[in-house]
């Protein structure tokens, strides 16, 4: 081996013995090896030390990440626990950290330092686009969804963090309220609409226009009476809302005291105008009265302006002076159901209602029938005189009905209906008997199986139409000769005080009276001019014409109460909508039971009805989601708007509003 041209070269020689031998230069070889070793060391040693250092630091960082992950998962479970316990407590934007409170998690404002780590939960609004998809910005805040960013951070040996973003929805234990029966619908307000049918078969539909078919009879009912509210403090008020039937001057009002307790103080009674369904707060005329007993009370008035027919007014009662307490007070009477009818004529009065306030201004509309009388200066009267009722039985030789003189244009009736029920198991069928007084009779029979044990409208169709002739006196009554007391048929008797003023404003005045026979109809007692049958009607044949439009507003007795703040998610309904008709719904959500818009005072504004776009005054053309901007509140109502070409009516069969507590 030798160096040639700067290169180390090795040569092999073949010895005489045939073996190869290597001839090298030991001094040159050592130099080269040294150079190679130095070069390799310069490359490998720094990398080796760096690897050792990185390995030591990586083990520390991995340990910190594992500890941070545990803290993160703990925060995540704490947030979920608080969400499920109370959404309204959970869903407040801000920065929080989890804390054990007793045996439960809670979220406390601010971040926390824990063993060298900083942990925080940031709650913010989640936004959705018009398709309902979550977007980072530019959408509408969804009050049922919150964006949670959970962060656990540390600074040694390097600044680092574990962070995730999650979306939490309101606890999905959804509930719903549903209106599907006549009892459900009865608490609403009707304008040119009415309930048809009973039980789960009931619906709301447009009324038939007078004069072209329709119904004739007394649909006004009283099934129970109760106190509007006990006026046990100076802050309580009572109101009776009504639509004026006549444009006349009032010189007295009469109200019925359900109770007068102790030595009651004196109260102010008077008339106020209506402002969006509530009393205006200013008396048109008033006077004070100190009552000493229950029953009808007359309050004389002076200086009253002429009431305007068709306008809405309130009789308002409030504390005036004297000692008032839980043992010294009065309470006015109301009746149920709310008929939305003026009893004498059965004309619609969609505004009739009772209201009560416990703090002078926070009125609650109750959904009950007001009992009152207006005395006019021309010695005529107006109002609802029926202060009580009685369930009476038809069986054996006891037959009960109504005697009346028909005053309308001569028409034909195809059926007769009574609001009735059966008690026990009657042995006989139920006969509907109709005829002119002293003339021939027509009997229509309904089997016992066709009558329910709870009150409702029952109808019998005449084999051929019967005539109602103007000026003719008739009797319509129920009979069940084979039935006995206790297993019989029941109807309602309406009762007012037997005095000329009250008798003049009960159903059809003295032209229609309660009639009863205890010998199967051989002789009759027709002298009880202060009694009427509560619930009978003829169906008049002819070309039926329905009202061109009408509305139904649910829960005017105070609206549906979810019990706490909730999210109202969807409104769903079923309906029949014939050609030439329409039916659309609106919803209104509020944090005030009276629909006002300034909680917690709840003293201004009214129910704000909106449609599928969330805009006031628009409609839901079909079932669907309630807009995100409108879902939050405690109370909800819906309003149905009907239209018709006159030949048919849409029917609202049921409504359900889904909500998340």
At residue 655 the predicted structure's pLDDT band, cuts being 50, 70 and 90, is very high
User: Which pLDDT value is given to residue 22?
Assistant: 42
User: Which pLDDT value is given to residue 13?
Assistant: 43
**CA neighbor of 333 nearest in space, from 373, 363, 371, 364:** 371
Residue 7 in this model has a pLDDT that exceeds 50: no
Residue that wins the pLDDT comparison between 68 and 551 = 551
Residue that wins the pLDDT comparison between 125 and 426 = 426
**CA neighbor of 228 nearest in space, from 43, 369, 405:** 369
Alpha carbon 428 to its chain centroid, in Å, reads 42
Q: Which residues pair with 446 in a beta bridge?
A: 430
Please state, rounded to an integer, the average pLDDT across all residues of the chain: 87
Work out the average pLDDT over 207-212.
Answer: 61
Residues 6+ apart with CB under 8 A from 5: none
**CA neighbor of 493 nearest in space, from 394, 424, 362, 629:** 394
User: Which pLDDT value is given to residue 24?
Assistant: 46
3-class DSSP assignment, residue 653: strand
Work out the average pLDDT over 65-88.
Answer: 81
Residue ranges of domains in the chain: 2-59, 73-170, 227-321+344-375, 388-540
What is the tens place of the pLDDT at every residue in 541-595? 765 678 889 999 988 756 688 888 888 888 999 999 999 899 999 999 998 888 8
DSSP state of 345: T
Residue 200 in this model has a pLDDT that exceeds 50: yes
Give the neighbor-by-neighbor strand order of the sheet with 512-517: 441-446, 430-436, 473-479, 399-405, 512-517
At residue 141 the predicted structure's pLDDT band, cuts being 50, 70 and 90, is confident
Work out the average pLDDT over 342-357.
Answer: 95
User: Which pLDDT value is given to residue 37?
Assistant: 66
Residue 39 in this model has a pLDDT that exceeds 80: no
For the whole model, what pTM was predicted?
0.60
**Of 165-179, 239-253, 629-643, highest mean pLDDT:** 239-253
Percent of the chain with pLDDT over 70: 88
Q: Of all helices (H) and strands (E), which one includes residue 172? A: none
Alpha carbon 411 to its chain centroid, in Å, reads 41
Q: Per the omega criterion (within 30 degrees of 0), is the bond before 442 cis?
A: no
Check: CB of residue 331 under 8 Å from CB of residue 229.
yes
Q: Which of 83-87, 418-422, 525-529 has the lowest mean pLDDT?
A: 83-87
Provide the 10 A C-beta neighbour count for residue 390: 12
What is the tens place of the pLDDT at every residue in 422-474? 999 999 999 999 999 999 999 999 999 999 999 999 999 999 999 999 999 99
What is the tens place of the pLDDT at every residue in 307-332? 999 999 999 999 999 999 999 999 99
3-class DSSP assignment, residue 230: coil
Check: CB of residue 507 under 8 Å from CB of residue 494.
yes
At residue 142 the predicted structure's pLDDT band, cuts being 50, 70 and 90, is confident
How many residues make up the chain in this entry? 661
Residue 183 in this model has a pLDDT that exceeds 50: yes
User: Which pLDDT value is given to residue 519?
Assistant: 97
Question: What's domain 227-321+344-375's architecture?
Answer: Sandwich (2.60)
Alpha carbon 476 to its chain centroid, in Å, reads 39
- The CA distance from 412 to 465, in Å, is 6
Dihedral sign for Cα atoms in the order 178, 490, 367, 582: positive
Check: CB of residue 195 under 8 Å from CB of residue 338.
no
What are the backbone dihedrals phi and psi of residue 262, each rounded to the nearest 5 degrees, phi first?
65, -155
C-alpha gyration radius of the chain: 42
- The CA distance from 371 to 294, in Å, is 14
DSSP state of 199: G
User: Which pLDDT value is given to residue 543?
Assistant: 55
What is the tens place of the pLDDT at every residue in 600-622? 888 777 889 999 999 998 999 88
Work out the average pLDDT over 374-382.
Answer: 97
The beta strands (E) that lie in 55-200 are given as 94-101, 104-109, 112-114, 117-128, 134-135, 140-154, 160-169, 175-179, 189-191, 193-196
227-321+344-375 and 388-540: identical CATH topology? yes
Check: CB of residue 244 under 8 Å from CB of residue 308.
yes
**CA neighbor of 76 nearest in space, from 149, 169, 173:** 149
Residue that wins the pLDDT comparison between 514 and 36 = 514
Check: CB of residue 397 under 8 Å from CB of residue 483.
no
**CA neighbor of 611 nearest in space, from 629, 586, 630:** 586
- The CA distance from 82 to 168, in Å, is 11
- The CA distance from 632 to 308, in Å, is 40
Work out the average pLDDT over 366-371.
Answer: 96
**CA neighbor of 217 nearest in space, from 76, 419, 440:** 419
What is the tens place of the pLDDT at every residue in 496-551? 999 999 999 999 999 999 999 999 999 999 989 999 999 999 998 765 678 889 99
List Cα–Cα distances, 629 to 107, 168, 180, 604, in angstroms: 26, 18, 28, 21
Residues 6+ apart with CB under 8 A from 594: 278, 362, 363, 364, 365, 558, 602, 606
Check: CB of residue 566 under 8 Å from CB of residue 661.
yes
CATH pick for 388-540 out of 1.20.120, 2.60.120, 1.10.10, 2.40.160: 2.60.120
Check: CB of residue 99 under 8 Å from CB of residue 107.
yes
Residue 342 in this model has a pLDDT that exceeds 80: yes
Q: What tokens appear for 507 in the block?
A: 């159903």
User: Which pLDDT value is given to residue 327?
Assistant: 97
Q: Which of 86-90, 109-113, 493-497, 564-568 has the lowest mean pLDDT?
A: 86-90
User: Which pLDDT value is given to residue 82?
Assistant: 82
Residue 26 in this model has a pLDDT that exceeds 50: no
3-class DSSP assignment, residue 483: coil
Q: What is the DSSP string of 590-639?
A: ESSTT--SSTTT--S-----B-TTS-BT--BSSSEEPPGGG-EEEEEEEE
Q: What tokens appear for 12 in the block?
A: 């092999």
Residue 50 in this model has a pLDDT that exceeds 60: no
Percent of the chain with pLDDT over 90: 57
């Amino acid at each position: 081996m030798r160096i040639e041209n700067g290169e180390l070269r090795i040569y092999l020689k073949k010895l005489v013995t045939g073996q190869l031998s290597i001839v090298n230069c030991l001094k040159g070889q050592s130099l080269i090896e040294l150079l190679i070793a130095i070069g390799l060391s310069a490359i490998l040693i720094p990398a080796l030390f760096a690897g050792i250092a990185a390995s030591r630091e990586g083990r520390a960082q991995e340990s910190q990440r594992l500890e941070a992950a545990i803290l993160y998962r703990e925060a995540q479970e704490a947030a979920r626990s608080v969400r499920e316990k109370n959404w309204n407590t959970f869903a407040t934007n801000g920065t929080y950290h989890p804390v054990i409170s007793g045996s439960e998690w809670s979220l406390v404002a601010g971040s926390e330092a824990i063993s060298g780590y900083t942990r925080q939960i940031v709650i913010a609004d989640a936004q959705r686009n018009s398709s309902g998809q979550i977007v980072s910005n530019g959408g509408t805040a969804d009050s049922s969804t919150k964006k949670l960013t959970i962060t656990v951070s540390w600074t040694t040996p390097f600044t680092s963090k574990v962070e995730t973003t999650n979306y939490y929805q309101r606890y999905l234990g959804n509930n719903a309220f549903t209106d599907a029966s006549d009892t459900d619908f009865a608490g609403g307000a009707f304008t040119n609409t009415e309930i048809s049918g009973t039980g789960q078969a009931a619906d709301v539909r447009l009324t038939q226009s007078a004069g072209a078919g329709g119904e004739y009879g007394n649909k006004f009912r009283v099934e129970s009476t109760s106190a509007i509210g006990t006026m046990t403090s100076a802050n309580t008020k009572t109101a009776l809302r009504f639509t004026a039937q006549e444009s006349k001057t009032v010189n007295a009002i009469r109200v019925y005291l359900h109770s007068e307790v102790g030595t009651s103080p004196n109260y102010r009674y008077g008339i106020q105008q209506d402002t969006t369904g509530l009393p205006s707060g200013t008396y048109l005329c008033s006077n004070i009265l100190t009552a000493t007993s229950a029953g009808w009370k007359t309050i004389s008035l002076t200086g009253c302006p002429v009431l305007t027919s068709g306008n809405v007014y309130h009789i308002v009662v409030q504390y005036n002076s004297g000692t008032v307490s839980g043992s010294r007070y009065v309470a006015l009477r109301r009746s149920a159901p709310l008929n939305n009818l003026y009893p004498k004529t059965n004309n619609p009065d969609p505004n009739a209602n009772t209201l009560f306030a416990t703090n002078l201004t926070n009125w609650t509309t109750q959904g009950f029938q007001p009992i009152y009388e207006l005395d006019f200066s021309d010695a005529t009267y107006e109002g609802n005189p029926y202060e009580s009722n009685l369930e009476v039985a038809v069986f054996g030789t006891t037959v009960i009905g109504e005697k009346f003189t028909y005053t309308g244009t001569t028409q034909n009736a195809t059926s007769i209906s009574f609001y009735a029920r059966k008690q026990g198991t009657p042995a006989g069928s139920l006969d509907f008997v109709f005829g002119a007084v002293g003339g021939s009779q027509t009997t229509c029979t309904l089997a016992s199986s066709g009558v329910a044990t709870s009150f409702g409208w029952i109808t019998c169709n005449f084999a051929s139409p019967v005539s109602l002739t103007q000026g003719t006196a008739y009797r319509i009554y129920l009979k069940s000769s084979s039935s006995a007391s206790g297993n019989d048929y029941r109807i309602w008797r309406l009762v007012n005080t037997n005095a000329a003023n009250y008798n003049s404003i009960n159903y059809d005045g003295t032209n229609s009276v309660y009639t009863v026979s205890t010998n199967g109809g051989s002789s009759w007692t027709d002298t009880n001019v202060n009694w009427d049958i509560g619930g009978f009607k003829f169906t008049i044949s002819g070309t039926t014409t329905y009202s061109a439009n009408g509305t139904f507003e649910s829960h005017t007795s105070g609206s549906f109460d979810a019990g706490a703040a909730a999210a109202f998610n969807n409104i769903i309904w079923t309906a029949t909508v014939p050609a030439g008709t329409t039916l659309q719904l609106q919803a209104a959500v509020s944090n005030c039971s009276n629909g006002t818009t300034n909680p917690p005072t709840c003293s201004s504004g009214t129910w704000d009805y909106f449609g599928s776009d969330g805009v006031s005054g628009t409609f839901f053309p079909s079932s669907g989601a309630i807009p995100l901007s409108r879902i939050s509140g405690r109370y909800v109502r819906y309003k149905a708007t009907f239209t018709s070409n006159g030949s048919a009516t849409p029917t609202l069969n049921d409504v359900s509003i889904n909500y998340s507590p």
